[in-house]
């Protein structure tokens, strides 16, 4: 890390602040205005209420399986990325070919072996974080599956608000962890630009944060979900 220049440190600090600061702000803002995660959380709760009264629950098991498949796919993909990052670290340590390639890129700043290793190490840590989030999301979806399996059959139906609330909360937490894993992927993009120049890290961090804000708060998807929630219920 001592190889970082002042601009590298400034860009890295801005990147960390943007990533975790945006996550904290988005969580608080979801309580006041429509956004993607808050709207989906309401639908997840509605899903668990419907699942409790549905028998058999083959459809619900299939839906949870699809969500688990997505988490499994990203977990496996992240492992491949981690393997590639570790291989790149080994290549940088054994020779200077990668450093020379980076120096010859357009707009690239002058890189040293230690500087490039430090940047790749930071990127590796981001994907370790993403892997932990995706695998934890996968375990939580497994727990949702178990909770749905514990719902009683229709002929033995009893008030189950506590079961519905627990399954809904686990479903929401699984979705939040999956979204945080995806957010790590988004914020890895500026780190790729950082390999070229630290100013690109700063510019990329601002651009990614703006894109995430648009997708989660202002996109057509969010507007469609908000319009559906505001629509009057169909007549009985």
The predicted-structure confidence for 157-197, as pLDDT tens digits, reads as follows 666 788 899 999 999 999 999 999 999 999 999 999 998 88
The secondary element (H helix, E strand) that includes residue 17 is helix 6-29
Closest CA to 123 of 91, 81, 179, 180: 81
> Which band of pLDDT confidence, cut at 50, 70 and 90, is reported for residue 34?
confident
Query: What's the longest Cα–Cα distance across the chain?
Result: 72
Phi-psi region of 51 (alpha: psi -120 to 50; beta: other; left: phi over 0): alpha
Q: What is the mean pLDDT of the chain?
A: 86
> Based on C-alpha coordinates, what's the Rg of the chain?
22
Pick 18 or 54 by higher pLDDT. Answer: 18
Confidence (pLDDT) at 236 = 44
What's the burial of 70, exposed, middle or buried (CB within 10 Å: 0-12/13-18/19+)?
Answer: middle
- In the chain, what are the domain boundaries? 6-226
The predicted-structure confidence for 91-149, as pLDDT tens digits, reads as follows 776 666 655 555 555 555 666 777 788 888 999 999 999 999 999 999 999 999 999 98
Closest CA to 58 of 144, 163, 148: 148
The predicted-structure confidence for 191-225, as pLDDT tens digits, reads as follows 999 988 889 999 999 999 999 999 999 999 998 88
């Amino acid at each position: 890390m001592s190889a970082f220049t002042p601009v590298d440190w400034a860009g890295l600090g801005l990147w960390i602040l943007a990533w975790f600061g945006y996550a904290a702000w988005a969580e608080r803002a979801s309580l006041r205005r429509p956004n993607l995660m808050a709207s989906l959380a309401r639908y997840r709760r509605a899903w668990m209420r419907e699942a409790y009264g549905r028998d058999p629950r083959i459809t619900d098991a299939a839906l949870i399986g699809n969500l688990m498949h997505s988490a499994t796919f990203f977990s496996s993909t992240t492992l491949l990325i981690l393997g590639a990052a570790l291989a790149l670290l080994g290549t940088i340590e054994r020779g200077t070919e990668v450093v020379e390639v980076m120096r010859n890129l357009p707009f690239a700043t002058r890189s040293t072996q230690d500087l490039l290793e430090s940047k790749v190490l930071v990127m590796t840590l981001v994907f370790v974080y993403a892997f932990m989030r995706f695998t934890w999301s996968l375990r939580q979806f497994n727990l949702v599956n178990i909770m749905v399996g514990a719902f009683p059959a229709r002929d033995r139906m009893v008030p189950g608000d506590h079961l519905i609330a627990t399954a809904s909360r686990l479903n929401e937490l699984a979705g939040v962890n999956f979204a945080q894993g995806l957010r790590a992927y988004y914020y890895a993009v500026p780190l790729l630009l950082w390999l070229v120049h630290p100013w690109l890290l700063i510019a990329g961090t601002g651009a990614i944060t703006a894109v995430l804000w648009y997708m989660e708060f202002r996109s057509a998807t969010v507007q469609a979900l908000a319009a559906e929630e505001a629509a009057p219920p169909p007549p009985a």
